[in-house]
Amino acid sequence: MKIDSKLLRTLCEIPGTSGHEADVSEFLLNYISKHSRKWKTKPRVFHGEGFQDCIVLKFGRPRTAIFAHMDTVGFTVRYFNQLVAVGSPDADGGARLVGHDSQGPIECELEMDKEHHALYKFGRPIEPGTPLSYKVDFRESRDYIESAYLDNRLGIYAALKVAETLKDGVIVFSCWEEHGGGSVPYLAKMLFEDWKIRQALISDITWISDGVEFGKGCVISLRDRNIPRRAYVNRIIGIAHKYHIPVQLEVEGMGSSDGGELQRSPYPIDWCFVGAPEQHAHTPDEKVHKADILSMITLYQHLMKSL
């Protein structure tokens, strides 16, 4: 299996801060329309009215759903050169930001004042409410990929690769995850009430830490700020071991994902975060090892067959 760097780069370059996922959604709908005719199973596609910018793909007779959020961190222009964070961006002063308002395209510089408030430096005032995201500098070496927004365009990429051979399952492209969520509750309602789905996997990106390293396999998270049901997580670990897929087990006390919203929903849907680890999270220079990407996709392929 080779990594389709062209597709991953294209995904990373589409602007889509929380609340502005429409361009990402449009790209995915076009991609699905073009490529799904070659997939093992052509899915039913649910989107539009009642879904906001979210997309749901239903394959065959589903038992398990993959959730991959479409949005990214970034900034919203306020007044007098001020910026308000979208999610939790972690860039230093000097980072390049891009966007577009009614006067044209924007490429400006992030500045931080003494109180660490975010400001922009540009040749004219930018209209309030304009979303700004990191300028993408996609780099690939033999072992690594570095770019802004691997979180979570890599999660979307993995889901699209799994879709190619998926027989039974659901893939959900959700919104607002980086800034508190909001789409998962009504999507979970549909999945449970219409199709009786009780199992979910969160296709997202986590962190390199003192217990998680590059190149040792994708991460199965035992907990973050939320704690999934251990019996379900143990099944996932067992499948990884059965097929000799390299994985790492993660234990964290903070951070969250679409899984947290599933846990807080009124539906008995088990969930587990399964994703590649990255360095420099929420910066313009997120870094992931290629072996961990391949481990992630391979594990998802087996999980969707076995769960």
Q: What is the pLDDT of residues 230-255, one digit of tens each?
A: 999 999 999 999 999 999 999 999 99
Task: Let me know: does 131 contact 5? Beta carbons within 8 Å.
Answer: no
Q: What is the mean pLDDT of residues 112-119?
A: 94
Which distant-in-sequence residues (6+ apart) come within 8 Å of 247 by Cβ?
Answer: 217, 218, 219, 220, 237, 240, 295, 299
**What's the whole-model pTM score?**
0.97
Q: What is the pLDDT of residues 85-108, one digit of tens each?
A: 999 999 999 999 999 999 999 999
Domains and CATH numbers, the chain: 5-72+139-306 (3.40.630.10), 75-134 (2.40.30.40)
Q: Which residue in the block uniquely carries the two structure tokens 């930018």? A: 126
Q: What is the mean pLDDT of residues 33-44?
A: 97
pLDDT for the residue numbered 221 = 98
Q: How many angstroms separate the CA atoms of 264 and 163, rounded?
A: 27
- What is the pLDDT confidence band of residue 171, given thresholds at 50, 70 and 90? very high
Which distant-in-sequence residues (6+ apart) come within 8 Å of 115 by Cβ?
Answer: none
Q: What is the pLDDT of residues 210-226, one digit of tens each?
A: 999 999 999 999 999 99
Angle at 227 between CA 231 and CA 67, to 5 degrees: 85
Q: What is the pLDDT of residues 120-158, one digit of tens each?
A: 999 999 999 999 999 999 999 999 999 999 999 999 999
Share of the chain above pLDDT 70, in %: 100
Share of the chain above pLDDT 90, in %: 99
Say how many C-beta atoms besides its own lie within 10 A of residue 42's C-beta: 12
| Strands laid side by side in the 286-289 sheet | 139-140, 144-147, 286-289, 277-279, 206-207
Q: What is the mean pLDDT of residues 258-278?
A: 97
Given a cut of 90, is residue 1 above it in pLDDT? no
- What is the pLDDT confidence band of residue 47, given thresholds at 50, 70 and 90? very high
Task: Let me know: does 40 contact 164? Beta carbons within 8 Å.
Answer: yes
Mean pLDDT of the chain: 97
